[in-house]
Structure 1
Amino acid sequence: MRYLCLAADYDGTLATHGKVEQEVIDALYRLKASTRLLILVTGRVLDELKVDFPEYELFDRIVAENGALLYNPATKEERLLGERPPASFINELHQQAKPLSVGKVIVATWEPHQNTVLEAIKKEGLELQVIFNKGAVMVLPAGINKAKGLKETLKELNLSLHNVVAVGDAENDNAMLQAAECAVAVSNALPAVQHHADWVTAHPHGKGVIELIDRLLENDLQDLDCHLTRHYLHLGQQISSADFSVCPYGPNILLSGTTQSGKSTMTTFILEKLLEKNYQFCLIDPEGDYLQLPGSVRIGDNEHAPAVEEVLSLLNNPLQSVIVCILALPLDDRPRFFNSLLSALSQMRKETGHPHWIIADEAHHMLPAPAAPSYYAIPDDFKNFLFISISTEGMNEAVLNKITLLISMGEDAAKAISAFSRFRNIPLPDNAVAPLQKGQAWVWDITAGNEPVLIKTGTPAHLQQRHKKKYATGDMDYNSFYFRGPENKLNLKAYNLMVFTQMAAGIDEETWRYHLKRKDYSNWLRHSVHDEELAGLVNSIENDEPHVEDSRHTIIELINERYTA
Structure 2
Amino acid sequence: MYFLGLAADYDGTITEDRRMAPPTLAALRRLKETGRRLVLVTGRELPAILSLLPDPRLFDRIVAENGAVLHDPATGAERLLAPPPSERLLRLLQARGVQPVAVGRCILATWEPHQNAVLDAIHESGLELQISFNKGAVMVLPSGVNKATGLKAALDELQVSAANFVGVGDAENDHAFLRACGCAAAVANALPVVRRDADLPLAGSAGAGIVELAGRIIAEDAALAPEEKHGPWLGHDRQGRPVHLRPGQGSTLVLGRSGAGKSTLAKALTERMAERQLEFCVVDPEGDYLELENAVGIGSLAAPPNATEALRLISQAGVNVVVNTQALPIEQRQGLFDNLLHQAAHLRARTGRPHWLVLDEAHQLLPAGRHPLPALLDQDLGATILVTYMPDALAHSALATVRLVVAVGAEAAALIREVSGLLGREAPPCPAAGPGEALCWRPGAD
The residue aligned with 1:467 is none
Report deviation, 1:46.
Answer: 0.8
The residue aligned with 2:430 is 432
Q: CA RMSD in A?
A: 2.0
The residue aligned with 1:213 is 214
Report deviation, 1:228.
Answer: 4.9
The residue aligned with 1:404 is 403
2-structure distance, mates of 1:80, 1:7: 19
Paired residues of 2:85 and 2:103 also in contact (CA < 8 A): no
The residue aligned with 1:109 is 110
1-structure distance, mates of 2:123, 2:15: 35
The residue aligned with 1:203 is 204
The 5 Å alignment of 1:378-527 reads 378-381=376-379, 382-428=381-427, 432-434=430-432, 436-449=433-446
User: Where do 4+ consecutive residues of structure 1 move more than 6 Å?
Assistant: none
Paired residues of 1:376 and 1:398 also in contact (CA < 8 A): no
Paired residues of 1:235 and 1:245 also in contact (CA < 8 A): yes
The 5 Å alignment of 1:9-20 reads 9-20=9-20
Report deviation, 1:277.
Answer: 0.5
Paired residues of 1:255 and 1:386 also in contact (CA < 8 A): yes
**1:508-548 deviation digits (Å, cap 9, x = unpaired):** xxxxxxxxxxxxxxxxxxxxxxxxxxxxxxxxxxxxxxxxx
Structure 1, unaligned stretches of length 5 or more? 450-565
Amino acid at match of 2:78: E
**1:255-301 deviation digits (Å, cap 9, x = unpaired):** 11122101121111111011111111111111222125333211222
1:49 matches 2:49: yes
Report deviation, 1:61.
Answer: 0.8
**1:378-437 deviation digits (Å, cap 9, x = unpaired):** 3443421101111211211111111111111223323211211211122236x6243x45
2-structure distance, mates of 1:447, 1:43: 47
Structure 2, unaligned stretches of length 5 or more? none
1-structure distance, mates of 2:57, 2:236: 50
The residue aligned with 1:163 is 164
The residue aligned with 2:93 is 93
2-structure distance, mates of 1:60, 1:240: 46
1-structure distance, mates of 2:437, 2:359: 22
**1:219-259 deviation digits (Å, cap 9, x = unpaired):** 3262x34x554544221233444433333442411111122
Report deviation, 1:124.
Answer: 1.1
Amino acid at match of 2:177: M
Paired residues of 1:233 and 1:248 also in contact (CA < 8 A): no
Report deviation, 1:375.
Answer: 2.3
Report deviation, 1:7.
Answer: 0.3
2-structure distance, mates of 1:368, 1:122: 67
2-structure distance, mates of 1:57, 1:239: 52
1-structure distance, mates of 2:222, 2:205: 19
SS of aligned partner of 2:110: strand
The residue aligned with 2:78 is 78
Report deviation, 1:18.
Answer: 1.4
1-structure distance, mates of 2:255, 2:291: 23
Amino acid at match of 2:252: I
SS of aligned partner of 1:440: coil
The residue aligned with 1:265 is 264
Relative to structure 1, is the Cα distance of residues 170 and 446 closer, same or farther in structure 2, using a 3 angstrom cutoff?
same
Relative to structure 1, is the Cα distance of residues 232 and 370 closer, same or farther in structure 2, using a 3 angstrom cutoff?
closer
Q: Whose RCO is larger (CA < 8 A, sep 6+)? A: 2
2-structure distance, mates of 1:197, 1:334: 44
Paired residues of 2:182 and 2:229 also in contact (CA < 8 A): no
1-structure distance, mates of 2:69, 2:288: 45
1-structure distance, mates of 2:231, 2:396: 28
2-structure distance, mates of 1:283, 1:446: 24
Relative to structure 1, is the Cα distance of residues 127 and 357 closer, same or farther in structure 2, using a 3 angstrom cutoff?
same
The residue aligned with 1:299 is 298
Paired residues of 1:215 and 1:221 also in contact (CA < 8 A): no
**1:108-161 deviation digits (Å, cap 9, x = unpaired):** 001111111111111112211111101100011111111111112212222211
2-structure distance, mates of 1:415, 1:81: 58
Amino acid at match of 2:309: E
1:122 matches 2:119: no
Amino acid at match of 1:441: A
1-structure distance, mates of 2:227, 2:113: 37
**1:78-130 deviation digits (Å, cap 9, x = unpaired):** 22222234212112223522221111111000111111111111111221111
Paired residues of 1:171 and 1:193 also in contact (CA < 8 A): yes
Relative to structure 1, is the Cα distance of residues 340 and 150 closer, same or farther in structure 2, using a 3 angstrom cutoff?
same
The residue aligned with 1:22 is 22
2-structure distance, mates of 1:443, 1:288: 26
1-structure distance, mates of 2:231, 2:122: 42
Report deviation, 1:440.
Answer: 2.6
Amino acid at match of 1:417: I
Relative to structure 1, is the Cα distance of residues 80 and 402 closer, same or farther in structure 2, using a 3 angstrom cutoff?
same
Relative to structure 1, is the Cα distance of residues 366 and 231 closer, same or farther in structure 2, using a 3 angstrom cutoff?
closer
2-structure distance, mates of 1:438, 1:394: 27
Paired residues of 2:11 and 2:18 also in contact (CA < 8 A): yes
SS of aligned partner of 1:130: strand
Name which one, 1 or 2, has greater alpha-carbon Rg.
1
The count of corresponding residues between Structure 1 and Structure 2 is 444
